[in-house]
Amino acid sequence: MAEPKTSQSRRSVTLPGSTGEALSAHRVNQAREKLELGARYQDDGLVFCTAQGTPLDLPGVTRRHFHPILKAAGLERIRGYDLRHTCATLLLAAGEHPKIVSERLGHASVTLTLDTYSHVLPDMQEGAARKLEGLLFG
């Protein structure tokens, strides 16, 4: 497996409780698969892998799983990487501090995050103006 691109690429990210529960259930299923296959299971310590423990074929996963999920949800076809942008945009639009979003993305500086997601900022500016008005004039 290739090493991460930058030192910020290897980081801890706090996950929502529901994601932690799903990962725990996945770990149980994965342990069951390891037991069933025994020595035939290729244990490379991967969280997401085939039932035999081998690395996933990303184009195959995208074609067989990701695109059908998008279609069933009535969404347009996007790349898996676009989910990263969606996450950042949603967090910023919900008022999350840009520094937190930057850290989650592994950006070297918050400037990169703000430059990349500046399209979200106009709505945030209006919200800031309303907050300031409330603080000053009740």
Give the integer Cα–Cα distance in Å for 129 and 93.
15
pTM: 0.73
The residues near 50 (Cβ < 8 Å, ≥ 6 apart) are 56
What does the domain layout of the chain look like in residue ranges? Answer: 78-138
Per-residue pLDDT of the chain (138 residues; tens, 9 = 90+): 677 777 667 888 899 999 999 999 999 999 999 999 999 999 999 999 998 999 999 999 999 999 999 999 999 999 988 999 999 999 998 889 999 999 999 998 999 999 998 887 777 778 888 999 999 998
